[in-house]
Structure 1
Amino acid sequence: MQLLDGKALSLEIEAKVKEEVMILTSSRGVTPGLAVILVGSDPASQAYVNMKAKACKRAGIYSITHEMPESTTESQLLNAISILNNDPNIDGILVQLPLPKHINTAKVLEAIAPHKDVDGFHPQNVGRLTSNLGGFAPATPMGVMRLLQKYGIDPQGKNAVIVGASNIVGKPMASLLLNANATTTLCHIYTKDLASHTQNADILCVGVGKPNLITESMVKKGVVVIDIGINRLEDGSLVGDVDFASVAPKCSYITPVPGGVGPMTIASLLENTLKAAKTRQETPQS
């Protein structure tokens, strides 16, 4: 069993992004810019936003955070996005999820200009990903693919099973694995006999937010396990969706929690912001 070290790889990616940012700034006078909008005061969301801001600073990316109160109306949020869409210094716009219940998340995500949608959630980028036409891929699935690539794990011809069908992780993860020529199964809350699917997986990706959902009896020997879940237990410890202690001995590779997929999500966001900045002068501003 070998650990898939997302922390180490994220530092490699961050260093490469920093180098490319310096080249972009010196050769074209372009400094990549990322705007993050945080609505409300959810502690987990605040923590994620702070980590993203620190990563941007380390990589030389200009970043701003718009903190808006829980009472922010949908109209006010859409107006803030419109201003950022037209700001020539901002290459990427990220709205931290989840949003307050009175705001239509789909409407908000669709309001972000597709060429600034570094989270990859706009329908246009979703469609391009599904059709394997490029665009922006969501950061977490993108980070998973980079981990597989780093450790020489080729999905082609493999049985890839994803547990969790969210728009943020599960569905785009399925698209990326399909694009990599894996035979892909997407499981969700209504899937009957989950173990019958997971036991057949060569690559198993799990992201549902349920501690220790996947146990030793649900996986086959030699499986590659990507644990995307992160859950805080009552004792304060962080665990994934996979029962690491019992499952790890059967794996060829497995991600730790923390230190696996989490750092890769932020590294991928930096890559997407750099990518947006590189195309700044080639894309008509809306």
Structure 2
Amino acid sequence: MKVDGKKLAAQVLKDVAKDVKRLKKKKIAPQLAVVLIGSNPASQSYVKQKIKAGAQCGIKVSLHHYKKTPSYQKIAEFIKQLKEDKNIHGIIIQRPVPTSLSAQSLCKLVGTIKDVDGFLPKSIHTPPLGLAVIKVCHHIYFELVRKIHAPKLLTPKPLLTTLKAKNIVLIGRGETGGQPIAETLRSLRLHFVMLHSQSMMESYLHDADIIISAVGKSDVLNPALLKPDVWLLGIGVHREKDQLTGDYNEAEIVKKCAFYTPTPGGMGPINVAYLMHNVVTAAGTIHK
């Protein structure tokens, strides 16, 4: 069964919008600043998604676009200004950044409260991508429980108990994909196996009940590698002939999966929705 990421994202944004209204009654207007360096088409597309999601829930998203690569000193000074601005509650350094700059160094300047991506070790925020993974698992769990008419099981504790009994495989260890997901799974004390391009051990894939693929290349997975009725969550995205595609061919895997997320329209919208959730959290923290 295909998981409709746009529908799940809309649910999250609806809740975020309620929180935004409550904050605005207190004269607090949540705002996200996005720093974009260069003219990468994919990055520009992702920024547009954030602006659109912000408009849906009442969060202002301000874009600060450097078409030409600035010096590290110049961009660092600007980020420090954003950090000190109490009207800005979240700051994103849109990745990738030019090789002459360090995304990690720039991210450290954001600070743990405004790091709404949750990349910093002591960030107050759970990474949006990790939250998106749990949201999809919760949706799948809900669908399964609904089929057996057991409403008492629709609580967080049975969900975590179910996930702890699953063989979970995470493919990819990138700093914006695999790593934040791994951090979230660890925080929930969920056991998982982490694979990457140099350690694609097929035996783990054959036994996996849940596969989270965060590679960003074509045909990372094929039906022969999948266990029947697997849950397949596709995080990795890349452009192929001006189209966004994921880590697997959906037409090939659909019969093998109990549930799977498409690309586009799967994990991406949910990830952005939880980013907005983190902006609201930051706004509430800053204006305590």
Give your verdict on TM over 0.5.
yes
* Structure 2 partner of 1:131: none
Match of 1:6? 5
| Aligned mates of 1:261, 1:77 — CA distance in 2 | 30
CA separation in 2, counterparts of 1:79 and 1:238?
34
Question: Does the CA contact (< 8 Å) of 1:203 and 1:223 recur in 2?
Answer: yes
Q: Distance in 2 between matches of 1:137 and 1:108?
A: 19
* Residue 180 (structure 1) aligned with residue 188 (structure 2): yes
SS in 2 for 1:76: helix
**Structure 1 residue 145 displacement after superposition:** 1.2
Query: What is the alpha-carbon distance in structure 2 between the residues aligned to residue 237 and residue 45 of structure 1?
Result: 14
1:80 is matched with which residue: 78, 81, 100? 78
The aligned amino acid for 1:183 is H
Unpaired segments of 5 or more residues in structure 1? Answer: 126-134
Partner of 1:98: 96
Matched residues in 2 for 1:184 and 1:51: separation?
30
| Aligned structure 1 segments of 4 or more residues deviating by more than 6 angstroms | none
SS of corresponding position for 1:67:
strand
CA distance in 1, matches of 2:248, 2:207: 16
Instruction: Specify the alignment match of 1:45 in structure 2.
Output: 43
* 1:150-165 equivalences in 2 (<5 Å): 150-152=139-141, 154-165=162-173
Measure, in 2, the Cα distance between the counterparts of 1:179 and 1:109: 22
Q: 2:286 aligns with which of 250, 268, 280?
A: 280
Displacement after TM superposition at 1:187 (Å): 0.6
1:25 counterpart residue number? 24
2:90–2:114 contact (8 Å) kept in structure 1: yes
Answer yes or no: is 1:216 the counterpart of 2:223: yes
Larger CA deviation: 85-94 vs 178-187: 178-187
Residue type of the alignment partner of 1:12: Q
Letter in 2 for 1:252: A
How much has 1:246 moved relative to structure 2? 2.1
Asked whether the 8 Å contact 2:3–2:262 carries over to 1, the reply is yes
SS in 2 for 1:88: coil
- Cα distance in 2, alignment partners of residues 271 and 5 from structure 1: 19
Give 3-state SS (helix, strand or coil) of 1:232's partner.
Answer: strand
Question: How far apart in 2 are the matches of 1:137 and 1:180?
Answer: 11
2:219, 2:247 within 8 Å by CA — same for their partners in 1? yes
Letter in 1 for 2:7: A
Measured after TM superposition, the shift of residue 219 of structure 1 is 1.0
The CA deviation at 1:76 is 1.0
What SS does structure 1 have at the residue aligned with 2:255?
Answer: helix
Equivalent in the alignment of 1:251: 257
Residue deviations 1:35-85 (CA, integer Å, cap 9, x gap): 010011111111111121121122111221111133211111111110001
Q: Is residue 170 of structure 1 aligned with residue 169 of structure 2?
A: no
Q: Counterpart in 2 of 1:241?
A: 247
Q: Name the amino acid aligned to 1:177.
A: L
Q: Tell me the amino acid that sits aligned with residue 115 of structure 2.
A: D
| Aligned-partner residue type, residue 187 of structure 2 | N
Secondary structure of the structure 1 residue equivalent to 2:287: helix
SS of residue paired to 1:205: strand
In 2, the alpha carbon distance for the partners of 1:213 and 1:174 equals 19
Aligned to 2:118: 120
Amino acid at match of 1:23: R
Query: What is the root-mean-square deviation in Å for CA atoms of aligned residues?
Result: 1.5
Q: Is the 8 A contact 2:119 2:180 kept in 1?
A: no
Q: How many residue pairs end up in the alignment?
A: 269
Aligned to 1:268: 274
Structure 2: how far apart are the matches of 1:255 and 1:54? 21
Question: Any unmatched runs of 5+ in structure 2?
Answer: 142-158
Report the identity percentage.
32
Separation (CA, whole Å) in 1 of partners of 2:97 and 2:62: 19
Q: Answer yes or no: is the 8 Å Cα contact 2:127–2:184 preserved in 1.
A: no
Residue aligning to 2:153: none
TM-score normalised by L of structure 1: 0.89
Whether contact under 8 Å (2:237, 2:244) holds in the other structure is yes
Q: Which amino acid aligns with 1:187?
A: L
